[in-house]
Amino acid sequence: MTFTKLVVLVVLAASAKAADHDMYHNCSRVDVCSQNRELERQERYQVILEGAMFSQGVASFRVQTADGIEDVGLNITAIEGNIFRVQIEETESSRYHIQDVLDGEPTIVNFDDVQLWLTSAEIFLGSNRAVVNFSPFSIEFYVNDVLTVVIEGDRLTLQNEELHTPFTVGVSFTQALHLYGLHEHADYLALRTTAPGGDDPYRVKTMDLTYYELHSTMAMYGAVPVLYGHGINSTSGLFLHNAAEQWVEITNKDVGADAFFMVDSGALDIFIFLGPSTTDVVRQYTSLTGVAHLPPIWTLGYHQCRWGYADQTDVETVIADLDANDFPVDVIWLDIQHTQDMKFFTWNSENFSDPFDMLANLASTHRYLVTLSDPHFKKEEGYFVYDEATANDYFIKNPDGTNYEDECWPGTSSWMDYLNPAARDYYSSLYLYENWNGTTSTLGGIWNDMNEAAIFNEEIEKTFPYDVVHYGGVSNRDIHNMYGYLQTMATHKGLIDRDNGALRPFILTRAHFAGSQKYAAFWTGDNTAEFGFIPISYSMCLNANLLGLVFCGADVGGFFGEPSEELLQRFYQAGAWLPFFREHSNIGSERREPYLYPEDVQATIRETIKTRYAHLPVWYTLFYEHTRFGDPVIRPLFYHYPNDVELLEIDDQLLVGQNILVKAVGESEVESVQVYFPGGENEIWFSAQLDGTTFPGTGWTDIPVTIERIPVYYRLGSIIPTKQTSRPSTTDMKDDGYTMIVLLRNDEMAEGTIYNDDNLSFEYRDSQKYIYADLSATDMLLVISAIDDSDDEEFEIVIDDIVTLTYNDDGTVVKNSYKHDVNGVPLNQMKYQGKEPLVINLR
Ligand SMILES: *[C@@H]1O[C@H](CO)[C@@H](O)[C@H](O)[C@H]1NC(C)=O
Ligand SMILES: *[C@@H]1O[C@H](CO)[C@@H](O)[C@H](O)[C@H]1NC(C)=O
Ligand SMILES: *[C@@H]1O[C@H](CO)[C@@H](O)[C@H](O)[C@H]1NC(C)=O
Ligand SMILES: *[C@@H]1O[C@H](CO)[C@@H](O)[C@H](O)[C@H]1NC(C)=O
Ligand SMILES: *[C@@H]1O[C@H](CO)[C@@H](O)[C@H](O)[C@H]1NC(C)=O
Ligand SMILES: *[C@@H]1O[C@H](CO)[C@@H](O)[C@H](O)[C@H]1NC(C)=O
């Protein structure tokens, strides 16, 4: 018995090492990359002056090849918020234009001025300018008179093949010191130079990359064709509004960086973001593709998952054991075993025979369930989804018009055609309580997995073949990268409809695309129980957060393999500071619920989870601010310290909002780690242990670490709202007061924000029912005051304690803790109820 198990483990461990490089194609095996990669720079196009037309915010040009054979249109449109849109397309075009990705039609604004010269046209917009050079053709973008982005004419090609419409285009970020973006890759945050003979270009295509490797440009589950060029004086960016496979060659130079896009099909439709700050660029991008709505509060708690919890007793036992051992938890997850024969929207009659009972039990402990729901459907007559989708023609087709079939979890399957609006509506309706018997609102979320789509066929790189056909005769080539996006869109609508719009849906998706934040959280997929997968989770989630995909996490413990006790603790400690916090393990791995470990390991994990819960007010406020401004929830250091060239490549440290600095420990048996403290000598970082230790923002510092915790710091000048009473779940924290942690310098002000609402509904959005308030403090006075006049008294702020840490110029720190004001009135009797400021005098 032990022997067999050992053999199995050894096999798993051995195969867990690397992705299959023969099965997944490299550049040389994919035409659009191999045929274009070494394209010579050459003047191919020129602008024909006579064709130029200017109207309200749209400039149109005719562009031709020297021989006059190719006739191409160019539109440059000014979009609200310092954005230009560039569209280049053949006059007689059959290029496919994707739908449903932008968050509404972009708002066109008028140009401030246009000047037409013999050799160029200049378009003025605020302090920016686009210059179209006629011959050689290029489009230059100036920010405050500084050349910042160039769309290069000499690497532009538009190709019309029988089955697709490839194109190439080069974009140069002339001020950039680094490029970021092009999600999703398990790579450094700052994109690396790729070049023939070295690394392949970054491949952007949704794929189930099994056993993904660290520091690779291979395609993964998500595909977000967005690139930011960050320089000392400005950040700029682009979004290629296109869902086809792409390969992007990156060339970093001393100053400036080039990106060369090789795109398999679809439209050349590029949005250019002119910043000028990093914050501006992120807001420009999220203004186009949308923001996440607030997650229900319980999704910010701790999630317990495993492939798989096998029956409903298992579900109840795991929750009971977590409770018995004092581990807070909000959610337990079920993988595919909850279904009957892998048929989605059914329950396994033997092992989940009474789902209502299971859900009622979970609800009685204030916990939620999330179950898996994939886009493939078992080919089986009599399975109602298969029958109904077949009868209505809702499956993806082969070129000959028959249903596309291949192997997946249930055996031979077909895939729902989410491009078809009727199929989406049908799929949404499956989530209704009346259509999925055995569900209640305690089944609070859905996990859309395998939606790249993933297929058990290595001949086709385990995803859709290029030639399958979606609704309306659309080739997969044109929409491949947004298939999973469309599934989450339908799931989201299904959950909204199911609860009559009263509850915020929660969806976790593996595949994702530009704009997926509107519908779903995502995680970094099937990672491995190795130390390197800890820092990479920070790099990947930071990149995602810059691209609007704020609700990101990584499997705590590592999906494949067996974490050592040390690795598991480090994974928890890092994961607790990512927006989505879930332990997950493979069916082939040993069980790893935290109560299975020795008491010292349990103690570390327990403290880590409790620290997460204590900071829920910070997380929730940041998520609200994301919905309102489009800002990232976690941020790389350069987001707040854009001028410091030393920190542009740091990707194993993150900022939670602006005020909490976290360093992941991603190495075994270290006694100290190097932490970069940003901001200069006046920026002081307080240890989150509140032991009075501080560090100035003067760069790299050696910090001793033990297994108990990783380095976490609060910023001087901030107020951190926390809830310190330990409870089993977020719901149980409802009546607890806040502990305000105030980090300040003598005679200076500390500031923060706080947000509260009903935690579950859309009333914050639809009826402005919330409290969003400013916090400000000097060493003896704390003031809470409304930011909006809509503050709702239903959601009062009650403070239990105020802890002040006052930094003196000689470096000493004085710590005080208050439960009463200067007159002896208990703080928790002084409620802030919106509108009228609450002033707490501690003097
Ligand atoms: C690309 O993949 C093929 C097949 O696995 C391999 O033979 C070839 O060496 C690879 N090329 C590069 C540049 O890695
Ligand atoms: C430019 O805009 C015009 C007017 O909306 C449209 O007819 C034309 O197709 C557009 N051309 C391109 C290249 O997008
Ligand atoms: C940034 O701007 C300043 C002031 O305009 C200028 O002196 C400096 O050279 C610029 N730095 C870079 C790297 O462009
Ligand atoms: C129920 O679970 C057990 C244990 O995991 C498994 O062996 C059995 O096949 C499951 N029953 C069904 C009907 O799937
Ligand atoms: C729903 O499932 C329950 C058992 O879980 C069963 O008693 C009931 O008949 C089912 N309802 C329908 C409409 O199938
Ligand atoms: C919302 O949830 C948080 C965290 O559990 C809690 O502190 C707060 O009191 C809740 N608010 C309401 C109105 O229930």
> Is residue 314 in contact with ligand 4, taking CB distance under 6 Å?
no
The number of the ligand nearest the C-alpha atom of 435 reads: 5
Whole-angstrom distance, CA of residue 577 vs CA of residue 360: 31
Atom of ligand 6 nearest to the CA of 729: 5
Largest CA distance in the chain: 88
The number of the ligand nearest the C-alpha atom of 793 reads: 6
Mean pLDDT computed over every residue of the chain: 96
Residue listed under structure tokens 């006739």 = 71
pLDDT attached to residue 780:
87
In the chain, % of residues over pLDDT 70: 98
Amino acid at 692: G
- Exposed/middle/buried for 752, CB within 10 Å: 0-12, 13-18, 19+? buried
Residue among 550, 580, 524 at smallest CA distance from 184? 524
Residue among 126, 104, 125, 124 at smallest CA distance from 116? 124
Closest C-alpha residue for ligand 4 atom 1: 351
Does the pTM exceed 0.75? yes
According to DSSP, residue 158 is labeled E
Note the pLDDT tens digit of each residue in 401-418. Answer: 999 999 999 999 999 999
Which of 67-76, 264-273, 375-384 has the weakest average pLDDT? Answer: 67-76
> Is residue 437 in contact with ligand 5, taking CB distance under 6 Å?
yes
pLDDT attached to residue 9:
41
**Cβ(296)–Cβ(759) under 8 Å?**
yes
> Is residue 5 in contact with ligand 1, taking CB distance under 6 Å?
no
Residue 5 pLDDT > 50, yes or no? no
Report the residue among 437, 439, 440 best suited for mutation to probe ligand 5: largest number of ligand atoms under 8 A from its CB.
437
Residue listed under structure tokens 């879930």 = 582
Closest C-alpha residue for ligand 3 atom 2: 233
> Is residue 187 in contact with ligand 4, taking CB distance under 6 Å?
no
> Is residue 658 in contact with ligand 2, taking CB distance under 6 Å?
no
> Is residue 733 in contact with ligand 6, taking CB distance under 6 Å?
yes
Report the residue among 297, 731, 732 best suited for mutation to probe ligand 6: largest number of ligand atoms under 8 A from its CB.
297
Note the pLDDT tens digit of each residue in 446-491. Answer: 999 999 999 999 999 999 999 999 999 999 999 999 999 999 999 9
Give the Å distances, CA to CA, from 452 to 109, 163, 247, 492, 761.
Answer: 36, 21, 17, 17, 30
Output the six-digit token pair for 382: 């009599």
Note the pLDDT tens digit of each residue in 718-756. Answer: 999 999 999 999 999 999 999 999 999 988 999 999 999
- Going along the chain from its start, the domains and CATH numbers come out as 27-289 (2.60.40.1760), 297-629 (3.20.20.80), 634-712 (2.60.40.1180), 719-841 (2.60.40.1180)
> Is residue 679 in contact with ligand 5, taking CB distance under 6 Å?
no
Atom of ligand 4 nearest to the CA of 310: 5
Distance 81 CA to ligand 2 centre (A): 22
According to DSSP, residue 709 is labeled B
Residue 10 pLDDT > 80, yes or no? no
> Is residue 60 in contact with ligand 2, taking CB distance under 6 Å?
yes
Output the six-digit token pair for 494: 């299904």
Mean pLDDT of 328-351: 98
Residue among 734, 752, 766 at smallest CA distance from 621? 752
Mean pLDDT of 588-611: 98
pLDDT attached to residue 791:
64
Distance 175 CA to ligand 3 centre (A): 10
Catalytic site positions: 449, 526
pLDDT attached to residue 11:
41
Amino acid at 636: P
Residue 442 pLDDT > 50, yes or no? yes
Closest C-alpha residue for ligand 6 atom 12: 758
Note the pLDDT tens digit of each residue in 174-212. Answer: 999 999 999 999 999 999 999 999 999 999 999 999 999
Distance 403 CA to ligand 6 centre (A): 48
Give the Å distances, CA to CA, from 554 to 235, 392, 571, 583.
Answer: 28, 38, 9, 8
Note the pLDDT tens digit of each residue in 654-676. Answer: 999 999 999 999 999 999 999 99
